[in-house]
Structure 1
Amino acid sequence: MDRLRTAYQTMCKAMPGGWPAMAAALGFSKDGLENRVYERKGQAVSVHEAMQMQAFSGSSRFAEAVAAESGGVFVPLPDIDAVDDEEIQRVYMELVDEVGRLAREWREATRDGEVDKQERKRLEAIRDAICTKVTQMNHLTFQVFCKKGQ
Structure 2
Amino acid sequence: MHWLTSLLILLPCCYALPQRNHSPKYVRRAFTKFHIVPDVIPSFNPVATLDVIFKDQSTGKHVHVAPGKNLTVKQTETIPQFLLKTENTSLFDGPFVIALVDPDAPKPQDPKNSPFRHMLGGDFRVKQDDGKLVNGSVALTEFAPPSPPDGSDPHR
- TM-score normalised per structure 2: 0.21
Highest RCO, 1 vs 2 (Cα 8 Å, sep ≥ 6): 2
Q: Which has the higher helix share?
A: 1
TM-score by length of 1: 0.21
Larger Rg, first or second structure (1 or 2): 1
Q: Which has the higher strand share?
A: 2
